[in-house]
């Protein structure tokens, strides 16, 4: 029995200002749609007995009409081909407020499409296989209940678990997101009962064990993911084979950090010219300039730097100025608001405030604002 497992498609994600000349869609948004369509085509060609998507189908809980149309078009093709398709909701596609309703309600109206999104355990029987689903749960109690509810039927030939979060409660597989969940290893309690565990959330493809796998994402949502491949898993339950199939995606490259302590503006340009080459063509490129002297920083011509890298798709510049006491000033780079907020709090000293409580409240306000 062949399975295709993929995850973290983040449809609707968009970034930067480049526009696809043909469709007038944001080019990064289009990149994610292209990757999605590549995998849909691969599924139709491979015709597996089952497809599982391990969460974060969309980038947001309320996808745009276009993201929705592209998702439905792909899902419909698989449905029409008679290939059973199981999807679970991830942290990016689970609404904070239940009354919002879930887009997966609509998606599961397609024949052959099964979605688990209700912050609880669900099991689907497909062919010779029980597909055990633990989607993202809004509360940790719900997550615990969902794992406790897993039921193994001794008469069923194959068991597959699909879940979304950081594996075995380890921060190792964290995406640094405020609402991510830490998933326990159910085999610690149940024994090795699963033929395959399909994981989503961590965007890097990685085998935790032969049969426990993060497929990784199909495109990269930040420079933290530079160097990650894009692809999906092709698993044969009978033969016990687990193959990763890479797909093409836009190159994302972090250039080596340039120490500018003793460099003039002119010398910086010359060093950058050495770093720039045809291999960066149409790539997402991150450039870090460290220890720039104050006067040099003022003299630097940003347009000149952009022109040195004119072949790239996008140039992310991280600039750190040299200061007297040895500390470096952060330049133009900023992480997600919740991360920056946590960093800010870490640096503060309070005598009469509960930092943990402050952090909890702040992150909750931010998460509500982001959801809205
Ligand atoms: Mn994700």
Which residue did the predictor score with more confidence, 132 or 360?
132
Calculate how far, in angstroms, residue 323's C-alpha sits from the geometric centre of ligand 1.
37
Pairwise CA distance, residues 169 & 216, whole Å: 18
Secondary structure in 3-state letters for 244-282: EEEECCCCEEECCCEECCCCCHHHHHHHHHHHCCHHHCC
Calculate how far, in angstroms, residue 74's C-alpha sits from the geometric centre of ligand 1.
19
Q: 268-277: list long-range contacts, CB under 8 Å, 24+ apart.
A: 268/292, 268/296, 268/300, 269/304, 269/305, 269/308, 272/305, 272/308, 272/309, 273/308, 276/308, 276/309, 276/311
Calculate how far, in angstroms, residue 168's C-alpha sits from the geometric centre of ligand 1.
17
Average pLDDT, the chain: 91
Query: Bridge-partner residues for 197, per DSSP?
Result: 161, 212
Calculate how far, in angstroms, residue 202's C-alpha sits from the geometric centre of ligand 1.
6
Calculate how far, in angstroms, residue 307's C-alpha sits from the geometric centre of ligand 1.
34
pLDDT of 370 over the 90 cut: no
Q: Closest Cα to residue 337, out of 312, 300, 364?
A: 364
Calculate how far, in angstroms, residue 10's C-alpha sits from the geometric centre of ligand 1.
7
Calculate how far, in angstroms, residue 174's C-alpha sits from the geometric centre of ligand 1.
10
State the pLDDT confidence band at 90, using cuts at 50, 70 and 90. Answer: very high
Place of tokens 């830490």: 182
What mean pLDDT is predicted for residues 5-30?
95
State the pLDDT confidence band at 175, using cuts at 50, 70 and 90. Answer: confident
Calculate how far, in angstroms, residue 296's C-alpha sits from the geometric centre of ligand 1.
40
Calculate how far, in angstroms, residue 162's C-alpha sits from the geometric centre of ligand 1.
14
SS3 5: strand
The pLDDT score that the predictor gives to residue 6 is 98
CATH class entry, domain 2-247: alpha beta
CATH 3.60.21.10 in the chain: give the residue spans: 2-247
Calculate how far, in angstroms, residue 292's C-alpha sits from the geometric centre of ligand 1.
35
Pairwise CA distance, residues 184 & 200, whole Å: 14
Calculate how far, in angstroms, residue 89's C-alpha sits from the geometric centre of ligand 1.
10
Query: In the chain, what percentage of residues exceed pLDDT 70?
Result: 95
- Could you tell me where the DSSP H helices lie in the chain? 27-46, 65-80, 103-107, 140-148, 187-190, 265-275, 294-299, 302-308, 337-347, 355-371
* Contact criterion met (CB below 8 Å) for 275 and 256: yes
Q: CB neighbours (10 Å) of residue 293?
A: 16
DSSP per-residue codes, 291-316: EE-HHHHHH--HHHHHHHTTTSSEEE
Calculate how far, in angstroms, residue 220's C-alpha sits from the geometric centre of ligand 1.
10
The two beta strands, 230-236 and 2-6, are: antiparallel
Calculate how far, in angstroms, residue 258's C-alpha sits from the geometric centre of ligand 1.
31
Contacts of 269 (CB under 8 A, 6+ apart): 304, 305, 308
Calculate how far, in angstroms, residue 354's C-alpha sits from the geometric centre of ligand 1.
31
The pLDDT score that the predictor gives to residue 91 is 87
The pLDDT score that the predictor gives to residue 96 is 66
Calculate how far, in angstroms, residue 92's C-alpha sits from the geometric centre of ligand 1.
7
Q: Which of 70-74, 145-149, 354-358 has the lowest mean pLDDT?
A: 354-358
Give the number of C-alpha atoms closer than 13 A to the C-alpha of residue 329, restricted to the C-beta side: 11
DSSP per-residue codes, 334-367: ---HHHHHHHHHHH---SSS-HHHHHHHHHHHHH
Calculate how far, in angstroms, residue 217's C-alpha sits from the geometric centre of ligand 1.
7
Pairwise CA distance, residues 35 & 30, whole Å: 9
To 5 degrees, how large is the angle CA 68–CA 74–CA 76? 95
Which residue did the predictor score with more confidence, 326 or 165?
165
Calculate how far, in angstroms, residue 91's C-alpha sits from the geometric centre of ligand 1.
7
pLDDT digits (tens, 9 = 90+) for 267-310: 999 999 999 999 999 999 999 999 999 889 889 999 999 999 99
Residues in the chain: 372
Calculate how far, in angstroms, residue 270's C-alpha sits from the geometric centre of ligand 1.
39
Q: Which of 16-25, 190-199, 280-289, 324-333 has the lowest mean pLDDT?
A: 324-333
Calculate how far, in angstroms, residue 172's C-alpha sits from the geometric centre of ligand 1.
15
């Amino acid at each position: 029995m062949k399975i295709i497992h993929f995850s973290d498609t983040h449809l609707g994600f968009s970034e930067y200002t480049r526009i696809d000349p043909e469709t007038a869609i944001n080019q990064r948004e289009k990149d994610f749609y292209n990757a999605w369509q590549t995998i849909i085509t691969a599924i139709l060609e491979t015709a597996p007995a089952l497809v599982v998507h391990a969460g974060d189908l969309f980038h947001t809980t309320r996808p745009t009409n276009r993201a929705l149309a592209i998702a439905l078009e792909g899902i419909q093709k698989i449905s029409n081909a008679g290939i059973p398709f199981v999807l679970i909701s991830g942290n990016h596609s689970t609404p904070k407020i239940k009354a919002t309703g879930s887009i997966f309600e609509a998606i599961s109206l397609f024949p052959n499409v099964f979605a688990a999104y209700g912050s609880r355990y669900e099991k689907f029987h497909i062919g010779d296989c029980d597909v055990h689903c633990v989607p993202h749960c809004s509360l940790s109690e719900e997550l615990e209940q969902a794992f406790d509810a897993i039921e193994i039927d001794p008469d069923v030939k194959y068991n597959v678990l699909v879940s979304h979060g950081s594996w075995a409660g380890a921060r190792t597989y964290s995406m640094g997101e405020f609402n991510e969940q830490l998933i326990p290893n159910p085999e610690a309690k149940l024994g090795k009962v699963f033929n395959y565990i399909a994981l989503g959330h961590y965007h890097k493809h990685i085998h935790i064990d032969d049969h426990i796998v993060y497929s990784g994402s199909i495109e990269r949502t930040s420079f933290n993911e530079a160097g990650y491949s894009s692809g999906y898993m092709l698993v044969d339950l009978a033969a016990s084979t687990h193959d990763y199939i890479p797909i093409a995606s836009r190159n994302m490259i972090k250039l080596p950090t340039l120490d500018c302590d003793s460099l003039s503006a002119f010398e910086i340009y010359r060093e950058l010219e050495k770093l720039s080459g045809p291999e960066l063509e149409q790539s997402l490129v991150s450039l870090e300039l460290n220890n720039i002297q104050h006067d040099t920083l003022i003299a630097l011509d940003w347009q000149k730097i952009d022109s040195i890298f004119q072949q790239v798709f996008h140039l992310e510049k991280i600039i750190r100025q040299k200061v007297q006491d040895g500390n470096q000033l952060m330049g133009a780079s900023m992480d997600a608001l919740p991360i920056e907020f946590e960093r800010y709090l870490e640096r503060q000293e309070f005598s009469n405030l509960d930092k943990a409580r402050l952090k909890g409240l702040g992150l909750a306000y931010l998460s509500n604002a982001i959801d809205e």
